[in-house]
Amino acid sequence: LTAGYYNLCDRDGYRPIARMLSRHNAILNFTCLEMKNVEQPVKAQSGAEELVTQVLSGGWAENIEVAGENALERYDHEAYNQILSNARRNDIAKFGHPTLKMYGVTYLRLSDKLMKQRNFDIFKAFVKKMHANLDYCSTNYHFTEPMERSKPRIPLEFLLEATEPLEPY
């Protein structure tokens, strides 16, 4: 799994980023939530599913909020189900909230194609599933909160410890 970071089988290139973000109370936002390995060209040797799992797991391991978005213009059940699978890692909790969930999902590509009746019906079903067993935002909810001061500097040695691979969530 490589994507421009020093990210190998025995070295996690993303968790140190998540650890650094934890100092600043930041949210880790990642892309390609809709991608599946089988949909990528074989010669690309893409591991989109493993990469998303690695990045989200790294964020959760460092106790930060994670968010995501789609990368491609897709309006099909398979893509939406893959986003749901990533956004709700341990599925829908029978009682209460899921333990691992994303802080937010940005849906890119609002277009005329999305507004076609069939595509829009599928999208509406996806949005309902995204909200399953979750509280809805009240009308008084404010998305922005005052910034907190950053935590003390993180020693380089502590950041480098985060390069040790973890079992995914």
**Segments of the chain scoring below 50 in pLDDT:** 1-3
Does a structural domain hold residue 35?
A: yes
Does a structural domain hold residue 122?
A: yes
Question: Looking at residue 94, what is its pLDDT?
Answer: 55
- Helix ranges (H only) for the chain are 15-23, 48-61, 77-87, 112-115, 117-130, 156-161
Does a structural domain hold residue 66?
A: yes
Question: Looking at residue 1, what is its pLDDT?
Answer: 42
Does a structural domain hold residue 10?
A: no
Q: How many structural domains comprise the chain?
A: 1
d(CA 53, CA 58): 8
Does a structural domain hold residue 40?
A: yes
Residue 43: CB partners within 8 Å, gap ≥ 6?
A: none
> Radius of gyration (Cα) for the chain, nearest Å?
17
Coil vs helix vs strand at 47: coil
Question: Looking at residue 93, what is its pLDDT?
Answer: 52
Question: Looking at residue 2, what is its pLDDT?
Answer: 44
Q: What's at 39, amino acid-wise?
A: E
Does a structural domain hold residue 155?
A: yes
Domain that holds residue 155: 15-161
Does a structural domain hold residue 167?
A: no
pTM of the model: 0.80
Does a structural domain hold residue 131?
A: yes
Asked whether 69 and 106 are in contact (CB, 8 A), the reply is yes
